[in-house]
């Protein structure tokens, strides 16, 4: 694998979708579409089949000898003024993994995934695509979520050909999965402080969001 090629892709992504304050790839926006177009352009150079599932997740498949597959990937959407490597590092490293195996037949299939709306920055509900795929998305809980302009989540995702009531069908993508691997930047100083370049993370904290309403007199 060529790390310099990954960085070249990431710098191009930053040029296309970044600004002085950081990344602007909020999901379901024009900047996110640009990010996906760049990702898709890199995948179009490879012998892979690219599909979008019922929840808006993007998949790219390189067949293997066996029936199973390993999933690699992350997400290209960001929070407003986000880090240029957050999420995108894993997505474009997954592209490089496919490049490295292009022209070969690995023991099992290799599948790239770009999860849709992992950050949840627009509607305040993260993990949209991945939770739909995992079967933990309650569509009635998110249907009427609204962004700062008052637009409903259900209406916005429909513009991207996502039928909210069918989003759970994306779970079919997990059939015959052997493993899932995601490269991510460290979001804390532990490895840096130890002088370690990388580590295998076996678990992390869950994400919670609370809406607190203070009612005055």
Whether residue 121 lies inside any domain: the answer is: yes
Q: Is residue 216 a part of any domain in this protein?
A: no
Domain-located, residue 213:
no
Given a cut of 90, whether residue 167 has pLDDT beyond it is yes
For 94-134, the pLDDT digits (tens) are 999 999 999 999 999 999 999 999 999 999 999 999 999 99
pLDDT cut 70: percent of the chain above it: 100
Count of domains forming the chain: 1
99 within some domain: yes
Tell me whether residue 208 is in a domain.
Answer: no
Q: What percent of the chain has pLDDT over 90?
A: 89
- The CATH number of the domain holding residue 84 is 3.40.630.10
Q: pTM for the complete prediction? A: 0.91
- Which range of residues forms the domain containing residue 111? 3-194
Helices (H), the chain: 3-17, 30-43, 88-101, 128-134, 139-142, 153-158, 190-194
Encode pLDDT of 12-24 as tens digits: 999 999 999 999 9
**Alpha carbons 30 and 6: distance in angstroms, whole number:** 23
Per-residue model confidence as pLDDT tens digits over 65-84: 998 999 999 999 999 999 99
Q: Return d(Cα 156, Cα 28) in angstroms, integer.
A: 7
Least confident of 67-76, 83-92, 183-192: 183-192
Q: Domain for residue 90, yes or no?
A: yes
Instruction: Report if residue 212 sits inside a domain.
Output: no
* Residues belonging to the chain: 217
Q: Is the pLDDT of residue 207 over 80?
A: no
State the pLDDT at residue 113: 98
**In-domain check, residue 180:** yes
User: What is d(CA 23, CA 17) in angstroms, rounded to the nearest whole number?
Assistant: 6
């Amino acid at each position: 694998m060529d790390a310099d090629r990954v960085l070249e892709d990431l710098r191009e992504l930053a040029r296309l979708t970044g600004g002085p304050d950081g990344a602007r790839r909020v999901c379901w926006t024009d900047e996110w579409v640009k990010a996906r177009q760049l990702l898709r352009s890199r995948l179009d150079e490879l012998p892979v089949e690219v599909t979008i599932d019922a929840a808006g997740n993007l998949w790219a498949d390189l067949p293997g000898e066996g029936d199973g597959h390993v999933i690699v990937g992350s997400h290209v959407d960001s929070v407003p003024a986000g880090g240029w490597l957050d999420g995108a590092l894993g997505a474009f490293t997954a592209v490089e993994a496919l490049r490295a195996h292009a022209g070969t037949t690995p023991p099992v299939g290799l599948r790239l995934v770009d999860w849709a709306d992992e950050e949840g920055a627009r509607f305040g509900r993260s993990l949209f695509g991945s939770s739909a795929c995992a079967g933990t998305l309650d569509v009635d809980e998110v249907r009427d979520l609204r962004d700062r302009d008052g637009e409903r989540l259900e209406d916005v995702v429909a513009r991207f050909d996502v039928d909210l009531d069918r989003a759970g069908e994306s779970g079919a993508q997990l059939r015959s999965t052997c493993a899932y691997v995601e490269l991510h930047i460290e979001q804390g100083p532990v490895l840096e402080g130890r002088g370690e370049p990388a580590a295998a993370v076996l678990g992390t904290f869950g994400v919670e969001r609370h809406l607190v309403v203070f009612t005055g007199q």
